[in-house]
Amino acid sequence: MIIRLALLVIFVLSVTPIIPSAAAGADRFALVIGNAKYPDAEAPLKEPINDARDIAEELKRDGFNVEIGENLTGDAMRRAFERLYGRVKPGSVALIFFSGFGVQSSRQSYMIPVDAQIWIEADVRRDGFSLETVLGEINSRGAGVKIALIDASRRNPFERRFRSFSAGLAPVIAPNGTLVMYSAALSSVISDNGRDHSLFVQELLKEIRVPDLMAEETLNRTRVGVTRASRSEQVPWISSSLAEDFSFIPGAGGSRPSAPGPVATLPPPSEPPPPPRVDPLPPPPKPVEVSIPPPEKPADKPADKNDGSTPVALADDPLIKSLTAKLTDNPDDASALYRRGQVYASKGAYNLAIKDFDSSIRLNPKDVEAFNNRCWARTVIGDLKAALKDCNEALRLRPNFVDALDSRGLVNLKSGQTKNAIADFDAALKINPRLTSSLYGRGLAKQRSGAVSEGELDITNAKAMDPNIAKEFASYGVN
């Protein structure tokens, strides 16, 4: 259950029509955000800051009053949105551009600040900013045109921490007069290209600068450009409920305003983001639709060993130190025990992880997540009898718990109980048809039971969804 956040940028764009309309002379306001330095990510994103600056300059030339923010914390993003809400007047144009990491949860898309602490899906809704909520607030202030440009369909370090949602972004239910564009298709992710600018923003800026184009045509041409340049590997998504024609370049004939709008730079966060944390965790119990490989280690080695993480290295890890300090102050902090267990598991220290899950369950005997995570950790090290007991208890506490069904499927697969494994994976896939680990696991189980062609189909489909899924299962000791 992990998610790697890239930069999130939201615009509130105003587009003036070439044909006179009610919004032809409306005020234009834009909030541009580029988030690149996420402590949970292996390295800062290269694209969001440069993209945000280029977008801000272009919108300034197009007459927008622009506020730009870089590497914003949750508090800084909240203040920036509140300032935008305060500027919006009836009939005005509001544009949001967000580049960074985005997460889909409960059928909504969330923009993630750089200091988000996301361990379970509920944390997404606590620390992220719902695109639907932001657009709704802008609409409630009377904005005539609402535009959101979201370049956040990146593989991120958070999605592997939970699997009860789909990767990528969700369709947005927006008020009338709204134009939304994602850099990739719904529920799909794209890998950071390692360049200084994203393909999406490159194509968007090219089309915005074409005179006499309406906004919808500008974005449609952007989608075509991105699709062609990526050979259909990246296909942006657009949703529009605009009632009037609007152009990014205002004025008759597409001419730019004589005086460009100002650009305000958001102050940096009052406190720097937290120190870098550990590499992305393999999701307790196992990851879903994201292509971030788990730690590579043999599954059946002794639980008190780990891959390159010595006891000293573990003790010096910034996140482990922080969680350990919390537990020193309060040994009964169940949340800190659970999270430290996840970190230990991500470092291959399964014995320490299980010990923390033991303590978490001692404090809360109904902690279904801890039972499921301990089941997974025990499965990886080969303690299958105890793992099965944990999975059964998790399912007793929460019937049809999809993660526990998926974990128990792995237990049965490693135990050679292929019929039971297929039943568990089937049940999980009925709840979440895009659960890659269950699809791949079912394929292996079918092959072992003699249904070779059916198994191959499942495996092929799973690999198409996550090219690293075979490597992940190999790290569990399953080939």
- Chain segment 89-121, per-residue pLDDT in tens: 999 999 999 999 998 887 789 999 999 888 777
pLDDT in tens, 9-46: 333 333 333 333 434 557 999 999 999 999 877 788 99
**Three-class SS of residue 196?**
coil
What whole-number distance in Å separates Cα of residue 36 and Cα of residue 43?
A: 9
How are strands ordered across the β-sheet holding 129-130? 102-105, 108-111, 129-130
Q: What is the pLDDT of residue 96?
A: 98
pLDDT in tens, 363-389: 999 888 889 889 989 999 999 999 999
The one-letter amino acid at 34: G
State the average pLDDT over residues 188-213: 85
For the chain, helix (H) and strand (E) counts, in that order, are: 17, 13
Peptide linkage before 280 cis (omega within 30 of 0): no
Residues of the chain with CATH 1.25.40.10: 311-475
What whole-number distance in Å separates Cα of residue 78 and Cα of residue 133?
A: 12
pLDDT in tens, 285-308: 443 333 333 433 333 333 333 443
Strand partners, 179: 147, 240
Strand partners, 66: 30, 263
Which two structure tokens, joined as six digits, stand for 445? Answer: 């189980």
Neighbours of 218 (CB within 10 A): 24
State the average pLDDT over residues 214-241: 92
Answer yes or no: are the C-beta atoms of 187 and 455 closer than 8 Å: no
What whole-number distance in Å separates Cα of residue 337 and Cα of residue 356?
A: 5
What whole-number distance in Å separates Cα of residue 15 and Cα of residue 94?
A: 9
pLDDT in tens, 210-224: 888 899 999 999 999
Residues of the chain with CATH 3.40.50.1460: 2-265
Q: Which CATH architecture has domain 2-265?
A: 3-Layer(aba) Sandwich (3.40)
Q: What is the pLDDT of residue 251?
A: 60
pLDDT in tens, 409-451: 999 999 999 999 999 999 989 887 878 889 999 999 999 999 9
Q: What is the pLDDT of residue 21?
A: 40
Burial pattern 451-472, b for ≥16 Cβ within 10 A else e, equals beeebeebbeebbebbebbbeb
* pTM for this model (two decimals): 0.56
Peptide linkage before 236 cis (omega within 30 of 0): no
What whole-number distance in Å separates Cα of residue 201 and Cα of residue 189?
A: 16
Of the candidate CATH numbers 1.10.357.10, 1.25.40.10, 3.40.50.720, 3.10.580.10, the domain formed by 311-475 belongs to 1.25.40.10
